[in-house]
Amino acid sequence: MTNPLPEYQPVILCGGSGSRLWPLSRELLPKQFIRLTNDRSLLQNTLRRLQHAPSARPAILVCNETHRFIAAEQVLQAGGGPVEFLLEPSPRNTAPAITAAALRAMRDGADPILLVMPSDHVMEDDDNLAVAFDAALTAANEGALVTFGIVPTAPLTGYGYIQAHGADQSASDGVQPNALKVQKFVEKPDAARAAEFLASGDYYWNSGIFAFKASTFLAEMARHAPEILNQVRAAVAVGTGSDDAFSLAPEPFAACPNDSIDYAVMEHTALAVVIPLTTTWSDVGAWDAVWDIAAKSTDGNSVSGDVVLKDSHNCLVHSTHRLVATIGLENIVVIETADAVLVVHKDRTQDVKPMVELFKTQHRHEMTHHREVQRPWGSYDSVGTGPRYQIKRIMVKPGAKLSSQMHHHRAEHWIVVSGTARIRNGDKTYLLTENQSTYIPLGEVHSLENPGKIPLELIEVQSGAYLGEDDIVRFDDIYGRV
């Protein structure tokens, strides 16, 4: 009698920046948290994809400390099972992230099979995926480091490729569940080489999805990337937190080499196999890739929001806040947000990332956050600014509370639009309801809380010599941001 196969330990990699999808993707709200293909974010779609993988363990979600509360809110909205947050103090690429997840997964003496998935890809959820996950579970249980290869449909140059021994892409059932020995990994090819790969029939797109026993992966890390393993071990050993949210120690993790799992292990190990998979898939690495997978009109246009097109063809036009009209455009991407507009030819969308790097040197806030900024307690929208004043629309979720704080350079006026506010203003605590207001003097310690069951909305008018977000001195905070 054979022993039943173990179940997966899902690991969701949620640390990408997505700068090529600016201005929709920002540092504080990168692409895994935005909606591109439906009414769910890419992260939420990834969590739903786990229904095809047998799992009895909570998913480990690896993300940056900065994105913890956004990720938690989206997990809650998705209605999935419990999630363990593994928090990175700085981005160090996929090899350190997966190593940390493997070490945490083995902390109770278990040796689960990790199913590692990026949070920012688009993939069709179908039976093919379930069959591939089952095949990978078997191969990983036998000691292989499994990756998933997407059967290519075109000679695309934006993806890495995997060459496999004994590949056969002629099967008509969509999934070939046999694990094939990996011959080599190939970086993004030029057009001529990509065409050769497609014609040969033994190359697959590198999906970035993996399955392996935690112990097998760590043994290969020790063999091929010991410096990464040692630094991550130290970051885990002196990290802090609980099973629900564990923070890696900043200093040893920052000293870790910044390497991908492919470069650190998969290109060197003798244990690599690939499970071929026929499915709709994209890493949506740039706006032209979004156009490729989007629903289109007969003119080849893909639009969302308030958009009117005339004599325009093969365009991607996205509006979030106002009417966008085009005339006589072809192969153009237009992305409109509240505070920035991108217009770029589809052939130049890879150049968006260098543009964002330029914004960094100019210290532009548009590369960091949207006009509406998400916070653990809710959000604020900077609806107007001028010399010595700023106006914000603030939303506080039911039961949520802003930190107890003070400002050196600004005073604040609060006007409640809807809901109920509990306010501490110096040594006074009082309630405000709709159409009531209060004044917070410069230098006064204050806090704001929503004790009600509906969202609290208020208008904040700031006045003073300096209105930056760094003029906040926190004294206590239920979200641990002091």
pLDDT tens digits, one per residue of 80-123: 678 999 999 999 999 999 999 999 999 989 999 999 999 999 99
Cα–Cα separations (whole angstroms), residue 57 to 94, 198, 391: 21, 38, 46
Q: Among residues 94, 99, 114, 269, which one has the least CA distance to residue 182?
A: 269
Judge whether 53 and 135 are in contact, CB under 8 Å.
Answer: no
The predicted structure's pLDDT at residue 82: 85
The predicted structure's pLDDT at residue 434: 96
Place of tokens 């249980």: 141
The predicted structure's pLDDT at residue 183: 93
Say if residue 199 is exposed, middle or buried (CB neighbours under 10 Å; 0-12, 13-18, 19+). Answer: exposed
Which CATH class, in words, describes the domain spanning 8-282? alpha beta
Question: SS3 letters for the chain?
Answer: CCCCCCCEEEEEEECCCCHHHCCCCECCECHHHCCCCCCCCHHHHHHHHHHHCCECCCEEEEEEHHHHHHHHHHHHHHCCCCEEEEEECCCCCHHHHHHHHHHHHCCCCCCCEEEEEECCCEECCCHHHHHHHHHHHHHHHCCCEEEEEECCCCCCCCCCEEEECCCCCCCCCCECCCCEEEEEEECCCCHHHHHHHHHHCCEEEEEEEEEEEHHHHHHHHHHHCHHHHHHHHHHHHCCEECCCEEECCHHHHHCCCCCCHHHHHHCCCCCEEEEEECCCEECCCCHHHHHHHCCCCCCCCEEECCEEEECCECCEEEECCCCEEEECCECEEEEECCCCEEEEEHHHHHHHHHHHHHHHHCCCHHHCCCCEEEECCEEEEEEEEECCEEEEEEEECCCCECCEEECCCEEEEEEEEECCEEEEECCEEEEECCCCEEEECCCCCEEEECCCCCCEEEEEEEEECCCCCCCCEEEECCCCCC
- What is the total residue count of the chain? 482
The predicted structure's pLDDT at residue 124: 83
Range(s) within the chain of domains with CATH label 3.90.550.10 = 8-282
The predicted structure's pLDDT at residue 176: 46
Range(s) within the chain of domains with CATH label 2.60.120.10 = 372-476
What's the rounded Cα separation, in Å, for the pair 442 and 411? 4
Q: Does domain 372-476 fall into CATH 3.90.79.10?
A: no
pLDDT tens digits, one per residue of 195-216: 999 999 899 999 999 999 999 9
pLDDT tens digits, one per residue of 297-321: 999 999 999 999 999 999 999 999 9
The predicted structure's pLDDT at residue 321: 94
Weakly modelled stretches of the chain, pLDDT under 70? 1-4, 56, 80, 166-177, 482
